Amino acid sequence: MYWTSVDSPLGPLLLTAGPDGALTSLSVPGQKGGRTVRPEWRHDPGPFRAAREQLAAYFAGDLEEFRLDLRAEGTAFRERVWAALDAVPYGTTTTYGEIAARAGASRAAVRAVGGAIGANPLLIVRPCHRVIGADGSLTGYAGGLERKVRLLTLEGVRGGAAGVPGGAARPAGPAAPLPATLP
C-alpha cells in the first residue's frame, strides 16, 4: 500500500493507493472511520500525481468530475450504493431515499444506505457530501458537517441547514474557490 498527504483547504488529505496505483482511500483529519498511516505502508507521492492535480483543480473551482482509477472494496450492497454516489452530478444534491432507489434497495433500507455512505473510503472524489436529508437538512458526514458545508458551497449548492444560506437545496451557479484554511 502506498500513501501520501496532500494539502487542501479542508486540511491535509491522506491518500492511499494499491500496488496498481488505483486510489483506495482519501481521508480528512478527524474523519470518523478515516485511515491512519500504518508502518508497513510505503510513503511515495508518485502514484498520486493525477489525484493531486485533480484535487487542486477541484478546490480551485476548475474541475467538476474526477477521472481517477478508484478501487474501494466493500460488500456488494456498499458497492451498489457507492456506484449510485458516483452518479450524483457536481453542483447538485440528492437524498438517502434517492440513493437507495438508484442502488436497487427499498425505502426501508435508507438506514443501511446511510451506513454504506458513511463507510465511503473515498471522501470528496466519491461525493457523499452531496447526500442530504429528505427535508433538505444537512445530515451527517464522516468528515464533519463544516467540511460538508464547505464542499457544497464550493460546488454552488445552497441549502437550508447548518449554515448554508438560501433555503431548499438547489444548484446556485458557480462558486468562488475555497479559502486556504477553515474558518
Neighbour-count burial of 73, counting CB atoms closer than 10 A to its CB (0-12 exposed, 13-18 middle, 19+ buried) = exposed
Active site residue 147: no
Q: How many CB atoms lie within 10 A of CB 115?
A: 13
Q: Please tell me which residue in 10, 70, 128, 157 is annotated as part of the active site.
A: 128
Residue 124's region, left for phi above 0, alpha for psi from -120 to 50, else beta, is left
The separation between the first and the last C-alpha atoms of the chain, rounded to the nearest angstrom, is: 33
Amino acid identity at 48: F
Residue of 171, 133, 168, 135 whose CA lies nearest to 152: 171
**Residue 175 DSSP SS3:** coil
Identify whether the C-beta of residue 128 lies closer than 8 Å to the C-beta of residue 142: yes
Residues noted as catalytic: 128
